Structure 1
Amino acid sequence: MRVSGTAKFLNVCAWCSLLLPLPSAQASTAFTASEESLNTITITARRLEESAQDVPISVASISGETLSQAGITTAQELQQVVAGLQVAVPNPRLAQFTLRGLGSSSFNEGLESSVGLFVDGVYLGRQSMSITDLIDIERIEVARGPQGTLFGKNSTAGTIHVITQKPQFTPEARMEASWGSEGMAQLRGTVTGPISSTTALRLTAWHNERDGLVENRFNGERYNDRHREGVRGQLLWAPTTKLSSRVIAEYSRLDERCCTFPLFGEPSKTVKARDEYVGYQRVSGNPFDRIADLNVRPSSQAEQYALSNETQWDFDLRHRLVSISAFRDFQFQPITEDNTSLDLVVSGTSSAQTQLSQELRIDSRWQHAETVLGLYVLNQNTRGSEYVRLGEDMSQWIFGGLIRENIPFANKENTGLLLNTLIPPETLAGMETRTPFQQKATSVAGFGSLNWHATDQLDVSLGLRYTVEWKDTEVRRRRSGGNPNASPLALTNNLALLAPLLGSQVSSLTFNQLLDDTVGGEFERKLAIEEDAVSGNAGLAWRWSPSLMTYLTYSRGVKSGGVNLGVTGERVKPMFRPEVADALELGLKSQLWSDRLLLNVALYDTYVTDYQALTFDESPTFIPNPRLNNLLNVGRVRLSGVDVDMQLALPQNFDVRAGIAYNRAITEDFKNAPDEDSQQNTRDLSGEPLANAPRWSGNVGVQKRWALEGGYTAYSIVDYHYRSTFNATLERSRNSVVEGYGVAGARLGLASQSGWDASFFVRNLFNQDYVDAILTIYGVGSYGAYAGEPRIIGGTLRLTW
């Protein structure tokens, strides 16, 4: 029997209560002077090092130690410790980040992320570049809401900034190994130290693997595994206290038997008719059975190279010149098919992104103000190719399905011979299309910000950014292979005789048109665009005391428009407009009870105009069409809600960290949404919740430490994260609903002063079933689901010296 998420939350809380010290008769709500207070959290959300409590925006800062304790090693797992963040990764190319309900699919390379992603100050031009392990991290800063001034480009929803550990002049080494059930194995190592009086080195390497979680009934193999590894090297040169230069080089790779997505829920009417005609029985529609049926081994391979340099020069007491130069190259090569053992289709969309960027800015600290002035240039080259190859069962499956829809008792046994005579299997078998695409883009921006301390209590913040972008694009499609002349219909190029079998939809076509609508015809498009945008912010912050601040901030973020990098039908516009987010945020930041309680609350209301959405081209086709190739602008979206972040240091070494987010994300004007029944974009979803935007999300983590004799420390950690029910697709299909879920984890460990730490952990403590990602298989209404990890039990050994 499945236990509800609420019941499991109560169970976790009951466990947590066992760790709390029992109150005595002399217990008081006051803390004694000897008890520890919370450490000051330093962030760079405004490009300056400052306390998180002084920044008038909603920022969640997660330390590397917190990530390690929670067992978080991937970007997808980051949502477990950040309320309001949603991350889905069907595969590296299709990674999607959503903050406060605002995010964009990366199914089409022409569409960029609404969440700005950064690593050590370097903007990542594609969401896929973030799919590497989070190893040797100093902290991660998640800034909610538009960040249109300093982080600027494509940050209408917010930013995620990963800051890695820097080289140290004090020698140190750290090794960590974790093993667990489901074949889990993680190895990490870091070493740092000086190589001269002015130069320090840091080397980091990692390996992360896990067995496949889905069993393929076709051949007994297991798919959806994990196999990732990489290395990072850093060199820090600091000849004086005023000058430093940090070079970072990184290589990472991913090679997995991934990803298979069994059909989620009931097949559509069309898919059901096709399966019944050829007599195919699908595996369970329940993703938690973790069963697939594939005759082609899925593959997911990715490589990434990165090189960056950050130089800082304090050329006087007030001014610092910062230069960040970076190169990144990401390549992804997948092999997928339609999740059946029928010989229908093998496909994959390879993609590659190369980018060069340069940021140059001056950070200044005046007597009553801080300013940032800068220039930014980004050059991107995005390229890829979609490959589709049809198999020998495709003809019977597609056209047999049409026959069964017209003649309910028809099947392969009673009409298959006739169908094979009219359209033999070799007509389509081996036919393939290749669709290469490319975009070259250049973005240039100038930006500036001012934080003015008008009085001892009042701060005024202003920011402005002007961006100009140029994009040149090309998309082509070519068809080859197969044997169209094998069909006698090719002689007449007339399908009128097929009306009794296939219906009037087919009989009105010529044979050549039938092939175009089934496989795809020749296509070519070249477009270039130029656009500019203004973004920025203005805010007031009032300090009631050194530990209590309220603020009101207006911010505007702009995500660039662009060109659809997919093949589109006559009903789809090739270009789309910029997405603009205007947000008001009212917040409170406080540190109470002698700095033992940190409590931050932010109320927000955001209007998004021309929200960039990726839906289905409604042009009729016969081939299973999972392509999200209709890039359009939803008229208006509204996001409103509240974020709460809390940290609490209790007596007797007991710490609590929690976050909760309530978000009402609504498409206020969306009259051209896809309809899964009519297969046309005529549904009115105005006033409906936005996709991938759970109304409630939250997390809590608690830690208790015990000081033991001999210098040992025992500790226990319990964490829990929750998502309420949401719909995972823009069209809000009845087959893409993700039920609310909560997942708990626990860790028990022992550490010594000599530098070793051994712990036992359980992930997904209650073995909760939950959907991790949803991917379209046969177009609108037909989706596959990727189940989240089951319970994993294991141990970790850390050595530091």
Structure 2
Amino acid sequence: MNYKKSGLIAVLLATVSATAVHAQDAGQNDVSGGDIIVTAQKVEQKLSEVPITITAVTQEQMKRLGVDDLDELSNYVPGLNIQEQSANNPGIVIRGITSDSGSAQQAARVTLYYNGIDISRSRGAYQAIYDVDRIEVVKGPQATLFGTASTIGAVSIISARPKPGVSGELTAGYGNYNAYLLGGHLNIGNDVIAARVAGEWKKRDGYVKNLSTTQGDLYAQNQLGLRASVRYTPSEALTVDLIGTYDRQRNSGTPFISKRFATSAGPADPFGAANLSGSPLSGKVLGADKLGLTRDVYDVNLTASYDFADGWNFTTVNGYRAFNSLEVFDADGSAAWWLEFAEGAYGSQLSHESRFAYSDDHVRTSFGWNVFHENNRQEVPFSTEEGIYLQCAANLVPNLGCVSSTGVVTAAQATAILTRGAATQIPYQSIFTNKGINDQYSVFGEVTWMPTTRLELTAGIRSLIEQRKSGFVSVAPKSVLSGAPLIPGQATTKGTLWSQDSFQAFLPRFNFLYRLTSAINLYGTISKGRRSPTVNQGATSLSIIPEETVWNYEGGVKLVRGMFSGSLGVYYQKYKNFQISRTVTDPNDPSGRPVGSSITESAGTASNLGFEAEGQLRPTNWLTLFGNAGFIDGGIDKKKSNGIYAGNRFRLQPRLQWSAGFTVDAPVGNGVRVFATPSVTYRSKIFFEIPNKEAISQNKVTLINVKAGLSFAEGRYEIAGYLRNATNERYLLDAGNTGGGFNNPTYIPAEPRFYGVQLTGKF
């Protein structure tokens, strides 16, 4: 580490020590208010007694904030950013490290868990967060807890479980852009068997006006989620949960907007109107008539927990998840029939884990095994008109251009000019598909020794063997006008080309927890994370991208005392063979992938230094103040061996992010309460790509949000209003995208001001 990083570590460690000493001097009262029960270590523990850096958010906290999606939640979790370009393409970022590749051949880097099952495959990962018990965001590698995909951390979603009694809730809402919301749950049961059904339907108009006469406005939303759960508890020793979930999206097109091509409404503007008309042959070639996303996800989970002897427990978690999605998109950002693509993603995942656990006053141990199988494919069909493609890409006809300053597609004349009137249109289509069949088998174990009531020492390891099989098939006919496939680097294969390889790894984890006082806990961890190697099969070549490894060192303090609870953690991470995903822009790329496609490759070594802090103060029972902050100084190491990537910051990584706010929830008499939660979130500049480019970046973003209302009849009824992005700040959600691979980057505007009202009834 250089002097700058060493100095920052010293300052942060001094801050941790000063915080602990100050709190110790203040007194010894042990109050657990604000301490959430979590299961990140596969046992129920208070948040303040988990020796890792973790943020837990309950359903009630999300309701107070007005959060109803994962990307909104990430604004309030230090070290977490979620970029939801679409439900088909969520970018999940922990500590500046992202996992968002759609390739079936590449492994995830950040684990997304749903009820204990890994759902990290990008196109099947999006999960609505209605009727959840809590969401735990675990930072740093946790191989013995969350498997190999948790290279840098995990987001664990735990749905609400059935419970004895009869209860229910129904919420209906309406907002601008004709936003409708209907959701709720019904619970019924007794001590032996209980059932719960829950659901959520969200629909709104698009917030980006589309001038096309064949396509509707962009970023319209139509989403449905349904869940049914049954809990069987024949005795105090045995609990069985069966959960079935269905998620569906029927959303309109993603607004990939060009800064290069004007529309009839004026000069190109990422925050203005778009004119995305797609392909006139979209239904035949791309699979759907219009731009947009059609996605269905089916998930079944069976979990059983059995206390079979004094101190002993056996838990098995089993899951099956299948997804199919088709997203049609206009990658050129204009009305031209130029770069019209679709992405079809289809896959299934099967997971089984069994874990034995033992606990007494001095020892806590667990061991078990995991089997994971997935079979996925990603299809990318392409449609264009040959003259338009060649004119917009290479300007073959001088002075004709591609799209005029008034939005007219002048390139539509190119075919007639190039063929001397023999043809006016020559449609062209191609397709490539990558496939991945991956199997992983692992055993794990760890032991926690508690020599005194103050000290806990943990050591564990996961040993794994995996087989990764990759396939690639493409059909790329020769262009009539150019005599070669239009997309540079594309080639027709003779059927599917297959390659496979086997790998193994050992991933350790060491933790300590020291109870300095009844209110203050110090913790530290050393752990190793790993992103699986990639068997990178292309149309003309094969390469093995080595595994990415990271060593993670961190420590911190957690305090729960009186009216205050909080934590401060410091970490340093060192990466080897840091894998990056980039868009192919060169037809001679050694990956053998066509221009415009995404590949993974090693950028060399990288490092990450940062801190995360959270705090909550509750001076009265009707007022809660909260705040958090995260700072990251990280990126590709600046040394010659890292080539063009040296010194680049990680994709989607802000140096600084923070949020703050307060909640008022006060009685006003006769069973009526008034509540309000205003909040502010901040994120510093981010780059959307590696290598970093100023043109493909977003400067700092500050958002103001508020949710407020009244509850009646002792909380049985509620009326609330919400306001998100109150100042209507303009900022980019993403930039570059597929168009960037053709030297035509596009830009996606983030959400504007949203507001509305919601009515809730409970019984």
What TM-score, normalized by structure 1, do the two folds share? Answer: 0.84
For residue 727 of structure 1, the aligned residue among 680, 687, 691 is: 687
Q: Please identify the structure whose Cα radius of gyration is greater.
A: 1
SS in 1 for 2:68: coil
Counterpart residue number, 1:17: none
For residue 710 of structure 2, the aligned residue among 750, 755, 760 is: 750
CA 754–141 in structure 1, closer or farther in 2 if over 3 Å, else same: closer
1:203 touches 1:234 (CA, 8 Å); kept in 2?
yes
2:584 touches 2:595 (CA, 8 Å); kept in 1?
no
For residue 607 of structure 1, the aligned residue among 574, 596, 600 is: 574
- Distance in 2 (CA, whole Å) between partners of 1:512 and 1:559 is 41
Deviation at 1:451, TM superposition (A): 1.7
Counterpart residue number, 1:421: 419
Deviation at 1:49, TM superposition (A): 0.6
For residue 733 of structure 2, the aligned residue among 768, 772, 784 is: 772
Paired letter, 2:555 = L
Instruction: Spell out the pairing of 1:604-643 with structure 2 (5 A cutoff).
Output: 604-620=571-587, 627-643=596-612
Paired letter, 1:429 = I
CA 322–400 in structure 1, closer or farther in 2 if over 3 Å, else same: closer
Aligned: 1:796 with 2:763:
no
- Distance in 2 (CA, whole Å) between partners of 1:797 and 1:407 is 54
2:114 touches 2:158 (CA, 8 Å); kept in 1?
yes
Aligned: 1:439 with 2:406:
no
Instruction: Spell out the pairing of 1:712-723 with structure 2 (5 A cutoff).
Output: 712-723=672-683
Counterpart residue number, 1:119: 114
SS in 1 for 2:61: helix
- Distance in 1 (CA, whole Å) between partners of 2:421 and 2:609 is 55
- Distance in 1 (CA, whole Å) between partners of 2:558 and 2:651 is 30
- Distance in 2 (CA, whole Å) between partners of 1:712 and 1:625 is 63
2:338 touches 2:392 (CA, 8 Å); kept in 1?
no
Counterpart residue number, 2:136: 141
Deviation at 1:778, TM superposition (A): 3.7
1:534 touches 1:558 (CA, 8 Å); kept in 2?
no
Aligned: 1:322 with 2:315:
yes
Counterpart residue number, 2:23: none
Instruction: Spell out the pairing of 1:700-719 with structure 2 (5 A cutoff).
Output: 700-719=660-679
Aligned: 1:598 with 2:565:
yes
CA 714–512 in structure 1, closer or farther in 2 if over 3 Å, else same: same
Counterpart residue number, 2:54: 59
Deviation at 1:448, TM superposition (A): 1.0
Paired letter, 2:123 = S
Aligned: 1:89 with 2:61:
no
Deviation at 1:388, TM superposition (A): 0.9
Paired letter, 1:459 = E
CA 591–454 in structure 1, closer or farther in 2 if over 3 Å, else same: same
Counterpart residue number, 2:454: 457
SS in 2 for 1:80: helix
Deviation at 1:671, TM superposition (A): 6.2
- Distance in 2 (CA, whole Å) between partners of 1:718 and 1:257 is 31
- Distance in 2 (CA, whole Å) between partners of 1:53 and 1:407 is 63
Deviation at 1:685, TM superposition (A): 3.1
Aligned: 1:216 with 2:210:
yes
2:353 touches 2:370 (CA, 8 Å); kept in 1?
yes
Higher mean C-alpha displacement, 777-786 vs 632-641: 777-786
Aligned: 1:477 with 2:449:
no
Q: Provide Cα deviations, 1:283-327, integer angstroms capped at 9, x if missing partner.
A: 644322243343553111100001110001000120110011111
1:733 touches 1:781 (CA, 8 Å); kept in 2?
no
Deviation at 1:537, TM superposition (A): 1.0
Paired letter, 1:764 = N
**Identical positions, percent:** 19
Paired letter, 1:153 = T
1:469 touches 1:531 (CA, 8 Å); kept in 2?
yes
CA 405–686 in structure 1, closer or farther in 2 if over 3 Å, else same: farther
CA 55–423 in structure 1, closer or farther in 2 if over 3 Å, else same: farther
Aligned: 1:543 with 2:515:
yes
Aligned: 1:562 with 2:522:
no
Paired letter, 1:78 = L
Deviation at 1:657, TM superposition (A): 2.1
CA 690–405 in structure 1, closer or farther in 2 if over 3 Å, else same: farther
Deviation at 1:520, TM superposition (A): 4.4
Q: Provide Cα deviations, 1:156-185, integer angstroms capped at 9, x if missing partner.
A: 110100011000111101001121111111
Counterpart residue number, 2:614: 645
Aligned: 1:344 with 2:338:
yes
Aligned: 1:658 with 2:627:
yes
- Distance in 2 (CA, whole Å) between partners of 1:760 and 1:616 is 42
CA 778–281 in structure 1, closer or farther in 2 if over 3 Å, else same: farther
Deviation at 1:193, TM superposition (A): 1.2
- Distance in 1 (CA, whole Å) between partners of 2:263 and 2:733 is 27
Deviation at 1:352, TM superposition (A): 1.0
Aligned: 1:353 with 2:320:
no
CA 424–722 in structure 1, closer or farther in 2 if over 3 Å, else same: farther
- Distance in 2 (CA, whole Å) between partners of 1:399 and 1:746 is 46
For residue 589 of structure 1, the aligned residue among 552, 558, 581 is: 558
CA 305–284 in structure 1, closer or farther in 2 if over 3 Å, else same: farther
Deviation at 1:625, TM superposition (A): 7.2
For residue 696 of structure 1, the aligned residue among 637, 650, 656 is: 656
Counterpart residue number, 2:270: 287
SS in 2 for 1:169: coil
Paired letter, 1:310 = T
1:284 touches 1:291 (CA, 8 Å); kept in 2?
no
Deviation at 1:38, TM superposition (A): 2.2
Deviation at 1:440, TM superposition (A): 1.2
Counterpart residue number, 1:300: 293
- Distance in 2 (CA, whole Å) between partners of 1:424 and 1:262 is 33
CA 384–617 in structure 1, closer or farther in 2 if over 3 Å, else same: closer
SS in 2 for 1:150: helix
Number of residue pairs the alignment of both structures matches: 715
1:599 touches 1:645 (CA, 8 Å); kept in 2?
yes
- Distance in 1 (CA, whole Å) between partners of 2:191 and 2:634 is 54
Deviation at 1:748, TM superposition (A): 1.8
Instruction: Spell out the pairing of 1:397-416 with structure 2 (5 A cutoff).
Output: 397-398=391-392, 401-402=395-396, 404=398
Paired letter, 1:610 = N
CA 471–670 in structure 1, closer or farther in 2 if over 3 Å, else same: farther
Q: Provide Cα deviations, 1:349-404, integer angstroms capped at 9, x if missing partner.
A: 20112011100001211220211111000010112311112225425524751454
For residue 356 of structure 2, the aligned residue among 342, 362, 368 is: 362
CA 735–109 in structure 1, closer or farther in 2 if over 3 Å, else same: farther
Paired letter, 1:688 = N
2:725 touches 2:753 (CA, 8 Å); kept in 1?
yes
SS in 1 for 2:48: helix
Aligned: 1:552 with 2:563:
no
Deviation at 1:471, TM superposition (A): 1.5
Deviation at 1:550, TM superposition (A): 1.3
Deviation at 1:132, TM superposition (A): 2.9
1:471 touches 1:528 (CA, 8 Å); kept in 2?
yes
1:83 touches 1:660 (CA, 8 Å); kept in 2?
yes
- Distance in 2 (CA, whole Å) between partners of 1:431 and 1:542 is 66
Paired letter, 2:314 = L
Counterpart residue number, 1:494: none
Where in structure 1 are there 5+ consecutive unaligned residues? 1-29, 268-274, 488-510, 674-682
Paired letter, 1:306 = D
Where in structure 2 are there 5+ consecutive unaligned residues? 1-25, 280-289
Instruction: Spell out the pairing of 1:385-396 with structure 2 (5 A cutoff).
Output: 385-391=379-385, 393-396=387-390
CA 130–71 in structure 1, closer or farther in 2 if over 3 Å, else same: farther
CA-atom RMSD, angstroms? Answer: 3.1
- Distance in 2 (CA, whole Å) between partners of 1:204 and 1:117 is 21
